[in-house]
Chain A
Amino acid sequence: EAGVAQSPRYKIIEKRQSVAFWCNPISGHATLYWYQQILGQGPKLLIQFQNNGVVDDSQLPKDRFSAERLKGVDSTLKIQPAKLEDSAVYLCASSPGGLSSSPLHFGNGTRLTVT
């Protein structure tokens, strides 16, 4: 089966600019996650979708970050305006269902550098 697809692979922007990331999960996977991983830290959950509904966005900085999964398939994560501290790898993951026992399948991530 095809894995989780993410693009772009790398992005460099200046602070206060905007940026968008795209993710296409494994076909049939109902749950989609966006994680932020800062160098030397574990991934931090930004938002979790179940189909096209939001399950958890408690750690999403909503003043600058937004995410959508309109048709319950692919998803976009946007940052506007970006800050220096947003420099990180943004990981998209999917799982077959919302059960706590479902393993995550990660994409290759998007490495964002904000200068």
Chain B
Amino acid sequence: QKEVEQNSGPLSVPEGAIASLNCTYSDRGSQSFFWYRQYSGKSPELIMSIYSNGDKEDGRFTAQLNKASQYVSLLIRDSQPSDSATYLCVRSGNTGKLIFGQGTTLQVKP
């Protein structure tokens, strides 16, 4: 079992729709979770972090964490073509080691 699992996609949504990206993890000791966005040919950039169960909202982005189910998700409301990218789910433990999932490719069609 991979430490962080994501569906590689592509996930295709129309412009203005809600995009839902999902991630599961295997290590119950994981403490912090991040979502990074990576445009083709570019380096990853942090868009959201979440540390406790529940929802965290930042603009059009909402991260959701359920530690009992070992599940993290990212919702993107009012999706725009500029949101088309690969979204990487990341978990970390108490040593600062960050483990990346393989990423989900999102395509937002005009």
Name A's B-contacting residues (CB within 8 A): 31, 33, 35, 40-45, 48, 50, 55-56, 91, 95, 97-104, 106-109
Contacts and interface: CB of A to CB of B under 8 A. Distances in A.
Say which size band chain B's interface belongs to.
Answer: 20 to 34
A98 B31 CA distance: 13
The A interface, classified by DSSP as helix, strand, loop or mixed, is: loop
Given A42-B88, A42-B103, A109-B43, A56 B97 contact: yes
A55 B98 CA distance: 12
A72 to B, nearest CB: 16
B73 interface: no
B93 interface: yes
Given A31-B96, A55-B97, A108 B43 contact: yes
Contacts of A91: 43-44
